[in-house]
Amino acid sequence: MINKIFALFTTVFILSIAANAQTKDEKAVAAAVESLRKAMIDGNKTELENLAAEKLSYGHSGGGVEGKAEFVEKIASGKSDFVTIELSEQTISISGKTAVVRHVLNGTTNDGGKPAVIKLKVLLVWQKEKGGWKLLARQAVKLT
């Protein structure tokens, strides 16, 4: 009887680990999100250009929408200056060559010398291109 209970608990434990494990693609998308977070804080133009798809649609919480060139220029020039970015509650869902990422972004900015604290819900759409993941779309909404 004890052996059967032990076997049952072991099976449940292994299944719970397997259910929570990330796939190779999910890990790659999570790494791309982290690279984007760092590049936005650092204003790293090359990294931003490498992570963004050519047809990027980058939606701001205030309603503005930018393409790749505008997005990269604003971050790299410091017009849009992220001082800190912390991500939480992240989920990743992959369907073929498309990944949908949702998370909460808490951060601080210093746009035009004006410090601010931001709290956003963000939706990112990534597409797999030539073995890597590129940001195709982003939309943010303000949390109150």
Structural domain of 83: 23-142
Looking up residue 82, the CATH number of its domain turns out to be 3.10.450.50
- Tell me, yes or no, whether 17 lies in a domain: no
- Tell me, yes or no, whether 38 lies in a domain: yes
- Tell me, yes or no, whether 37 lies in a domain: yes
Q: Please answer whether residues 108 and 84 qualify as being in contact, where contact means their C-beta atoms are separated by less than 8 angstroms.
A: yes
Residue 2 has a pLDDT of: 66
Share in percent of the chain as helix, strand, coil (round to 5): 40, 45, 15
**Strand, helix or coil for residue 115:** strand
- Tell me, yes or no, whether 2 lies in a domain: no
Residue 144 has a pLDDT of: 78
- Tell me, yes or no, whether 16 lies in a domain: no
- Tell me, yes or no, whether 1 lies in a domain: no
Residue 16 has a pLDDT of: 43
- Rounded to whole angstroms, how far apart are CA atoms 108 and 93? 27
Q: What is the pTM of this model?
A: 0.83
Structural domain count, the chain:
1
- Tell me, yes or no, whether 56 lies in a domain: yes
Taking only the tens of pLDDT, the chain with its 144 residues reads: 665 554 444 444 444 444 446 899 999 999 999 999 999 999 999 999 999 999 999 999 999 999 999 999 999 999 999 999 999 999 999 999 999 999 999 999 999 889 999 999 999 999 999 879 999 999 999 997
- Give the tokens for residue 34: 């982290």
- Give the tokens for residue 139: 């939309």
- Tell me, yes or no, whether 122 lies in a domain: yes
Concatenated DSSP letters for 54-104? Answer: EEEEEE-TTS-EE-HHHHHHHHHHTSS-EEEEEEEEEEEEEETTEEEEEEE
